[in-house]
A and B are shown apart, each in its own frame.
Chain A
Amino acid sequence: MKAIEIRNVTLRYDAVTALEDVSLESPVGKMIALIGPNGSGKTSLLKLLAGLLKPTSGTLKVLGREPSKARGLISYTPQREEVYWDYPITVRELVAMGAIRRRGLFRWLNAKDSAVSEALKLVGLEELADRRISDLSGGQQQRAFLARAICQGGEIYLLDEPISGLDAPSEAKLLEILDSLRERGKTIVVSTHDISATLELFDYVALMKSRLIAYGPPGEVLTSENLAKTYGESIVALHLDDIKRIAGWR
């Protein structure tokens, strides 16, 4: 069974076409990066996969089901800026939100729970469990978000811009955790601006500009021609430098 299966999906908001005739698929246990400039439809595609939006035309399947019927299997992590980090809750309470459906009425979030502790340990935040989320750095916030998704126990992880704004060590740490989730058979879809990170680690890359410019293994997709179609000629030189740098490291 395919983890995700997107067929000829178009999404329009009134006059704006966010996605046009996008088709892509992936088996289970892969890491997929959606790459493209702002407004290229990356977030829209993630929201479609999460069942938060309905396509204007075309079909989407997640693990063989309609996204809205696969709720427990999908976790969706929005961009970090979309929540209010001064909200007075602890890291443990934030992570426990992933398990909210498994707890009855009247039960509060901070009760001890093995799923929460395990998720905290996996992302290396067990020491900070009882700290307020406002005390966390950007990288720690993102790992707390990921722990919440892990705690939910889903199969498909959708993450919107998880590495944007992180410093290099935080980025490396986060990608390492995503890699370990993939080893456990989870399917991970992230949107990102960062082409260099995707080169090494991801199984598939989707270059997007409302339409799907190219989709496949990074080595095949990230050609100067495809990047020029996605970002425009002037910016490509910059990205190519990035790619050469990474290639040099290996």
Chain B
Amino acid sequence: MIDLLAEPLSYEFMRTSLITTLIVAVTCSVLSSFVVLRGWALLGDAISHSVLPGIAIALALDFPYFIGALLAGVGSSVLIGLVESKARVRNDTAIGVVMTGAFSAGLVIISTIRPTVDIFHLLFGNPMSISIQDFYLAATVGAVTLLLVGSILKEIVAYTFDPVFSKVVGVRTGLIHYILMILLSLAIVSALSTVGIILVVTLLVTPGATAQLVAKNITGMLSASVAVGAASVVTGLYLSYYLSISSGGAIATVATLIFFAVMIWTNLRRLLG
């Protein structure tokens, strides 16, 4: 058993992959709690799809891809708000329009200027080919996220619980909102090389959704969410190593299975009193 667990770790790439993906999972899981509580699951999906044109333009103009991705991610959240108010459509419609529009723009740009880029890697990640730069990016984003969320936790809680009351009482709700949008975009960018644009949504939604089934308070929810995210990453990566299956896919599948297991367990417990 010990050997089974230790063997993959004898490879440098596996160690880098595991630690980087773990950091990404912790970052995403912390944000996941607020994504779930504020009802932002679809928005997380939209931001993650919208980073694609940012990456494409960055590749074309040859500047760091995470800057392009960050600008596109935050830009999309602004654009969604704008479409919602100017076109007078519902939030999910605005998200649908912006998300698919941005994603297809990304595909078009990539196919015209850099046909050699492996789109498959961007979409689904590849934890087995993580570079040390990816690790540094994930570690920086993780540290910034934990520090910011830790220092303004009560403002984030107040805003995500009741934005209108918070604004009147004097919380700078606009600032809090855009801090969260920036953190979400950063988390997505740091997850690009590990789980990719599509599957990062699992890490932004499922750990928080699972944690909410069991948590009694907000710190309990944050910890449970991180535990689910971390367990999914470790289990998923080992499964991927031994079964030669897609690592991003394995991580996302494990997270989903944990969610359903906890959901069934909490419902059974309630039924049996």
Chain B residue numbers with a CB within 8 Å of A90 are 217
Chain A residue numbers with a CB within 8 Å of B151 are 105-106
Query: Are B218 and A82 within 8 A (Cβ)?
Result: no
Query: Are B155 and A88 within 8 A (Cβ)?
Result: no
In B157-203, the 8 Å CB interface with A consists of: 157-158, 160-162, 164-171
Query: Are A100 and B171 within 8 A (Cβ)?
Result: yes
Tell me the nearest residue of chain B to A106, going by C-beta: B151
Please pick, from B150, B154, B155, B168, the residue contacting A50 in the complex, using a CB distance under 8 A: B168
Any B CB within 8 A of the CB of A185 = no
Query: Are A97 and B39 within 8 A (Cβ)?
Result: no
A87 to B216, CA, bound (A): 9
Any A CB within 8 A of the CB of B221 = yes
Tell me how far the C-beta of B178 lies from the nearest C-beta in chain A, rounded to whole angstroms. 18
Any B CB within 8 A of the CB of A76 = yes
Query: Are B168 and A74 within 8 A (Cβ)?
Result: yes
Query: Are B154 and A75 within 8 A (Cβ)?
Result: no
Tell me how far the C-beta of B25 lies from the nearest C-beta in chain A, rounded to whole angstroms. 21
Number of interface residues of B (CB under 8 A): 29
Query: Contact mask A38-60 → B, CB, 8 Å, 1/0?
Result: 00000000000011100000000
Tell me how far the C-beta of A90 lies from the nearest C-beta in chain B, rounded to whole angstroms. 7
Query: Are A89 and B161 within 8 A (Cβ)?
Result: yes
Query: Contact mask A105-143 → B, CB, 8 Å, 1/0?
Result: 111110000000000000000000000100000000000
A152 to B158, CA, bound (A): 13
Q: Across the A-B interface, give the 8 residue pairs with the lowest CB-CB distance, nearest first.
A: A76-B168, A101-B170, A97-B158, A83-B162, A88-B215, A50-B168, A71-B170, A109-B154
**A-B contact sample (16 more), CB < 8 A, given A103-B154, A108-B154:** A75-B168, A75-B169, A76-B164, A76-B168, A78-B162, A84-B37, A86-B212, A87-B37, A87-B160, A87-B161, A89-B217, A90-B217, A93-B157, A97-B157, A97-B169, A105-B151
